[in-house]
């Protein structure tokens, strides 16, 4: 007999927010890629921290697993439940969207977990500030989701990842108690960094209900260049030249010929007349950035480039449409691997991929793009039959590890890469992580199957 009783949860969040109808629940049970579909007894949509605490208390007493979900844009299968018969709820933060008034002196804003990245940036802009996390999923990805995955995005090269923006946190623990550290202090060394620990915890330690984010100064005038390059190593020489010229590097995004071609075929305007092996998008800030960036590109002898005043949305579109057009262009759901490679090895890795991918044992079309300055590549393998996808992903990740890379740069481990945890971290490291998990969630109710197999 199921331990799930909808009436218990309806009494907490209200009947309309206990979703049990299969059609209404479908969007919460399938991930963004469409590759993972799970099962849950219900989707519960609380409005407040108090309601989340009551929901978790009810789950604990009944042995019901909880899958926290924000915008459901995660790409490693962590935001949807597994397809088993364990009593499970999805806890969606989609009603927890409050954004507080930004504080222009303390340079921070407090938000509920379900506030989107776009909403946080809009609030920051209203006081002349800026939210340092930005990613193409900005209209759906949430505060709780970006903290739980320690999301990267396009400005890591300038400001660091999400963890670096977290000043305070509010979270409900597995036993229903509320942990709250909510102080805009930049310096506070009292005890363990629990907000930092929750960053990257992927819903396995607590349900994040609110985040106090740091804001940064707006970059002022920006310029964006699209530059044709023949080898990835040229990216780092370009970035060094731009910095030497006194410009601030805001973003460095890499694309390949194959990826740009797909985006252009989908209707976007090409930036450059010719086709080069790679294109790199550089965003910089500083005084007279467009002119100075053009001067730097001349000095280093770039043959083909275009420079525009920021925000240069048409140039950014060429990069940001990659995920969407790749999904449409593949005959099967593409294998998507977010990896990091030491900078010196990136060129060799991509060259090897171009040779390996079209050949046996898993012939496919590779399309790579990513946040180049961070050594972060998004490897997409198109047209691989469903039954061969896991083996192809394994082979690819093994090549990443051989090159001293990481199997997860910014998307997290989720369910997709859980089997890799013990292969890339040593036994003491894994034991310490398991001890933390056990201390915070002794009954293993929070996002089972994510991070740990």
Ligand X SMILES: Cc1cc2nc3c(=O)[nH]c(=O)nc-3n(C[C@H](O)[C@H](O)[C@H](O)COP(=O)(O)OP(=O)(O)OC[C@H]3O[C@@H](n4cnc5c(N)ncnc54)[C@H](O)[C@@H]3O)c2cc1C
For residue 231, how many other CB atoms are within 10 A of its CB?
Answer: 13
Both structure tokens of 42: 């219900």
Site residues (CB under 6 A) for ligand X, limited to 202-261 = 202-203, 207-208
Contact 254, 374 (CB under 8 A): no
Q: How many residues bind ligand X (CB under 6 A)?
A: 37
Contact 98, 123 (CB under 8 A): no
Helix (H), strand (E) counts: the chain: 16, 17
Quick check: helix, strand or coil at residue 304?
coil
The bridge status of strand 88-92 relative to strand 108-112 is: unpaired
Would you count residue 93 as binding ligand X (CB under 6 A)? Answer: yes
The continuous run of DSSP H or E covering 366 comes out as strand 365-371
Q: How far is the CB of 141 from ligand X (least distance, A)?
A: 4
Q: Which of 32, 278, 316, 349 binds ligand X (CB under 6 A)?
A: 32
Q: Which stretch binds ligand X (CB under 6 A): 63-71, 219-227, 238-246, 294-302?
A: 63-71
Binding flags for ligand X, 316-335, as an x/- string (CB under 6 A): -------x------------
Q: How far is the CB of 377 from ligand X (least distance, A)?
A: 12
Q: How far is the CB of 187 from ligand X (least distance, A)?
A: 26
Would you count residue 136 as binding ligand X (CB under 6 A)? Answer: yes
Q: Which stretch binds ligand X (CB under 6 A): 34-42, 199-207, 241-249, 384-392?
A: 199-207
Q: Which of 12, 41, 72, 255 binds ligand X (CB under 6 A)?
A: 72
Residues 314-342: b if buried by 16+ CB within 10 A, e if exposed: ebbbbbbbbbebbbebbebebbbbbbbbe
CB nearer ligand X, residue 323 or residue 389: 323
CB nearer ligand X, residue 376 or residue 389: 376
Q: Which of 38, 81, 110, 152 binds ligand X (CB under 6 A)?
A: 152
Q: How far is the CB of 234 from ligand X (least distance, A)?
A: 22
CB nearer ligand X, residue 307 or residue 329: 329
Residue of 371, 383, 369 lying closest to 329 (CA atoms): 383
The bridge status of strand 88-92 relative to strand 65-69 is: parallel
For the residues of 371-426, what is the DSSP string, one character each? EGGGTEEEEEEES--GGGHHHHHHHHHHHHHHTT-BS-SSS--TTTTGGGHHHHS-
Q: CA end-to-end span of the chain, whole Å?
A: 26
Q: Which phi and psi (to 5°) does residue 87 adopt?
A: -60, 125
CB nearer ligand X, residue 307 or residue 367: 367
Would you count residue 370 as binding ligand X (CB under 6 A)? Answer: no
Contact 159, 132 (CB under 8 A): yes
Q: Which of 40, 43, 79, 375 binds ligand X (CB under 6 A)?
A: 79
Q: How far is the CB of 197 from ligand X (least distance, A)?
A: 12
Q: How far is the CB of 135 from ligand X (least distance, A)?
A: 4
Would you count residue 195 as binding ligand X (CB under 6 A)? Answer: no
Q: How far is the CB of 324 from ligand X (least distance, A)?
A: 6
Q: Which stretch binds ligand X (CB under 6 A): 142-150, 309-317, 358-366, 428-436?
A: 142-150
Q: Measured between alpha carbons, how far is 410 from 152 in angstroms, rounded to an integer?
A: 5
Q: Using CB positions, name the residue nearest to ligand X.
A: 145
Q: Measured between alpha carbons, how far is 269 from 171 in angstroms, rounded to an integer?
A: 44
For residue 307, how many other CB atoms are within 10 A of its CB?
Answer: 22
Alpha helix segments (H runs only) across 127-181: 143-149, 156-159
Q: How far is the CB of 316 from ligand X (least distance, A)?
A: 12
**Residues near 41 by Cβ (< 8 Å), separated by ≥ 6?**
2, 4, 6, 20, 64, 87, 88, 89
CB nearer ligand X, residue 67 or residue 384: 67
Q: Which of 41, 234, 374, 410 binds ligand X (CB under 6 A)?
A: 410
Would you count residue 165 as binding ligand X (CB under 6 A)? Answer: no
Q: How far is the CB of 66 from ligand X (least distance, A)?
A: 9
Contact residues toward ligand X (CB under 6 A) are 32, 67-75, 78-79, 93, 113, 135-137, 140-142, 144-146, 148-149, 151-153, 202-203, 207-208, 323, 410-411, 447, 450
């Amino acid at each position: 007999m199921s331990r799930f009783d909808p009436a218990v949860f309806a009494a907490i969040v209200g009947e309309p927010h206990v979703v049990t109808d299969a059609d209404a629940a479908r969007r919460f049970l399938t991930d963004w890629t469409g590759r993972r579909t799970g099962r849950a007894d219900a989707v519960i949509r609380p409005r407040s921290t108090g309601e989340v605490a009551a929901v978790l208390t009810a789950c604990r007493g009944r042995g019901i697993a909880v899958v926290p979900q924000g915008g459901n844009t995660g790409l490693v299968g962590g935001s949807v439940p597994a397809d088993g018969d364990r009593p499970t709820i999805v806890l969606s933060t989609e009603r927890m969207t409050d954004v507080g008034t930004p504080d222009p002196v303390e340079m921070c804003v407090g938000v509920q977990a379900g506030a989107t990245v776009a909403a946080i940036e809009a609030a920051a802009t209203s006081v002349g500030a800026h939210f340092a996390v930005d990613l193409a999923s900005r209209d759906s990805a949430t505060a709780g989701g970006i903290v739980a995955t320690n999301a990267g995005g396009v400005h890591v090269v300038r400001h660091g990842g999400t963890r670096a923006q977290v000043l305070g946190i509010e979270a409900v623990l597995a036993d229903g108690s509320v942990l709250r550290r909510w102080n805009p202090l930049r310096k506070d060394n009292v005890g363990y960094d629990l907000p930092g620990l929750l960053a990257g915890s992927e819903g396995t330690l607590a349900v994040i209900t609110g985040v106090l984010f740091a804001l940064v100064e707006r970059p002022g005038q920006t310029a964006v260049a699209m530059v044709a390059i023949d080898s990835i190593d040229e990216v780092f020489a370009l970035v060094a030249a731009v910095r030497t010229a006194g410009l601030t590097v805001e973003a460095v995004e890499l694309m390949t010929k194959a990826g740009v071609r797909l985006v252009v075929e989908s209707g976007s305007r090409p930036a450059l007349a010719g086709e080069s092996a790679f294109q790199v998008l550089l965003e910089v800030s500083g005084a007279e950035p467009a002119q100075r960036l053009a001067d730097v590109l001349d000095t280093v002898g770039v043959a083909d480039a275009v420079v525009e005043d920021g925000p240069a949305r048409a140039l950014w579109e060429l990069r940001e449409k990659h995920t969407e057009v790749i999904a449409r262009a593949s005959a099967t759901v593409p294998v998507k691997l977010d990896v990091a490679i030491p900078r010196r090895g990136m060129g060799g890795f991509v060259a090897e991929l171009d040779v390996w991918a079209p050949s046996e044992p898993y012939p496919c079309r590779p399309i790579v793009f990513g946040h180049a300055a961070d050594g972060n590549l998004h490897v997409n393998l198109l047209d691989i039959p469903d039954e061969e996808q896991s083996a192809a992903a394994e082979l690819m990740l093994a090549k990443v590890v051989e090159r001293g890379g990481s199997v997860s740069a910014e998307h997290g481990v989720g369910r997709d890469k859980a089997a890799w945890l013990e292969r890339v971290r040593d036994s003491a490291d894994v034991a310490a992580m398991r001890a933390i998990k056990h201390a915070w969630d002794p009954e293993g109710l929070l996002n089972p199957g994510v991070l740990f197999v």
